Amino acid sequence: MKLVIASDHGGLRLKKELVEQLAKSGHQVEDVGTNTEASCDYPDFAHAVARKIVAKEFERGILVCGTGVGMSIAANRHVGVRAVVCSDTYTARLSRSHNDANVLCIGERVVGSGLAWEIVAAWIAEPASTDERHTKRRSKIEV
């Protein structure tokens, strides 16, 4: 899968681990920053990923910050982005199946690297449901 990933300083370590795991799993990954531990503004990186998703340059995106919340809020400002914060595999799977989430947000300060990888793997593997009830509901998201 073709993925774009970014983090702020609060998610840098976990992002690096995820990039390595994703590459080992055969995914094409573009890291759009940050690359230092210097304090930075999470919206800049959320917008960078969201723009690439909206432009259809990548199938899906991953954002990592301290909690995942700020990244999610910023990314969801873009029409066509459905960013979700996940801290467990169940939510990750259903965010794909029911909501066709195209950006996954994870908090480095919330989940450890092992669980984070399980969340990412579950989210990547889950297809969007084609069941009419889910497609109808998704169509109501874009206003």
Beta bridge partners of 124: none
Exposure string over 13-29, b if 16+ CB within 10 A, otherwise e: ebbbbbbebbeeeebeb
Spatial distance between the Cα atoms of 57 and 20, rounded to a whole number of angstroms: 21
Catalytic residue among 27, 78, 98, 134: 98
Does the annotation mark 40 as catalytic? no
Catalytic residue among 47, 65, 86, 105: 65
Does the annotation mark 86 as catalytic? no
Question: What are the residue numbers of the active site?
Answer: 65, 98
